[in-house]
Amino acid sequence: MSDIHNNFIDAIGNTPLIRLNGPSNETGCNILGKAEYSNPGGSIKDRAAWAIIKDSEEKNILRENGIIIEGTAGNTGIGLTLIGNSRGYKSIIVMPETQTREKIDILKYIGAELRLVPAKPYKDPNNFVKYSGRLAEEISKKNNGNVLWANQFDNVANYLGHYQTTGQEIWRQTKGKIDGFICSSGTGGTIAGVGKALKERNKNIKICLADPKGSALYNFIKFKELKSEGNSITEGIGSSRITANFSEAPIDDAFSVDDVDALTEIYKLIENEGLSLGTSSGINVAGAISLAKELGPGKTIVTMLCDKSDRYQSKLFNKDFLKEKNLPIPKWL
């Protein structure tokens, strides 16, 4: 592989695995985080964005001067817009207005046409995903059908992208010495793609879900019941439904992770290891610690470090906000 990438897309993937020393020492396991924040668009969602765009180009859905439309919590929208820019497409991004100011600003600054909508549950016709689907249908009529509704939740090109890249990278990087993989799920693409790739190589690798409070997926895996309890400040993860991507995931077990545990891990990693990570990474690392304690010492567990804390600083480093939510406050604030 050349050290020089020809363009933005060539730089997606092949992210490093980093040993998380605090969590590893605490559990006696080898806990590794895949540094997805080092993708050129700053998050794991660059992978899904490129997999979906590539698939649509191959199927001749998206052509020259095409328009990409998507409903997103932010990171997929950023990835789609940046890749779209590099390939001459316009991007229209529909996002709940409850997402962080930082992600809203990034999307504006990189040239997306941004539509902010009130946060509504999926069953509501004005939920951001359903709104984006209707918008794509409407604009498609005016643009000779040259419109891609990315539909990241139910477009299986998402999980296939992770199957073809992320899962293979993890197997190669660990030289097959991996006992468990755990991550949270928003669309289900990562856990389905990585889970399938690893299970094909070794069916004994334990594939687990780390689920924030307020999501129904933990109860679905444990008790086959789509029931949510509690709430979370995390963004882009958790779900009240089973997406087409998630339904492909070969999940063995699930852990419900509290925001207190997630933020505690985030702040410890900043202070002790110089890793400044976003909220979903906190859920993932706390989940990896729980899985490590269950599997016992000497095991190797991989999780995902999805993005960095700078996309959530108005929450993670806002003393008043944290105090109001009864969440831990980093001691340096």
177 is an active site residue: no
Token pair of 166, please? 């992320």
In a domain, 143, yes or no: yes
User: Do 76 and 220 reside in the same domain of the chain?
Assistant: no
Q: What is the mean pLDDT of residues 165-190?
A: 98
Nearest to 98 by CA among 324, 329, 312, 326: 312
In a domain, 135, yes or no: yes
Residue 69: which CATH number? 3.40.50.1100
In a domain, 49, yes or no: yes
User: Do 122 and 86 reside in the same domain of the chain?
Assistant: yes
Q: What is the mean pLDDT of residues 58-80?
A: 96
pLDDT in tens, 282-293: 999 999 999 999
pTM of the model: 0.97
Residue that the structure tokens 């604009």 belong to: 139
Alpha-carbon gap, residue 3 to 332, rounded angstroms: 38
Nearest to 27 by CA among 233, 301, 332: 301
In a domain, 291, yes or no: yes
Residues 93, 72 contacting (CB under 8 angstroms): yes
Residue 229 has pLDDT above 70, yes or no: yes
In a domain, 331, yes or no: no
Number of folded domains in the chain?
Answer: 2
Token pair of 28, please? 């006696």
With cut-offs at 50, 70 and 90, classify the pLDDT of residue 3.
confident
Q: What is the mean pLDDT of residues 79-88?
A: 98
User: Do 29 and 173 reside in the same domain of the chain?
Assistant: yes
pLDDT in tens, 106-150: 999 999 999 999 999 999 999 999 999 999 999 999 998 999 999
The H-assigned helical ranges of 74-156 are 75-87, 101-109, 128-142
Residue 1 has pLDDT above 70, yes or no: no
With cut-offs at 50, 70 and 90, classify the pLDDT of residue 215.
very high
pLDDT in tens, 292-310: 999 999 999 999 999 999 9
Residue 250 has pLDDT above 70, yes or no: yes
In a domain, 157, yes or no: no
Q: What is the mean pLDDT of residues 97-114?
A: 96
User: Do 22 and 77 reside in the same domain of the chain?
Assistant: no
Host domain of residue 144: 45-149
Q: What is the mean pLDDT of residues 41-45?
A: 98
Alpha-carbon gap, residue 327 to 324, rounded angstroms: 8
User: Do 251 and 288 reside in the same domain of the chain?
Assistant: yes
In a domain, 305, yes or no: yes
Q: According to the model, what pLDDT value does residue 57 have?
A: 98
For residues 226 and 2, the model is more confident at 226
Catalytic entry in 45, 103, 213, 315: 45
Residue 239 has pLDDT above 60, yes or no: yes
In a domain, 59, yes or no: yes
User: Do 257 and 289 reside in the same domain of the chain?
Assistant: yes
Q: What is the mean pLDDT of residues 55-64?
A: 97
User: Do 174 and 265 reside in the same domain of the chain?
Assistant: yes
Percentage, residues of the chain above pLDDT 90: 98
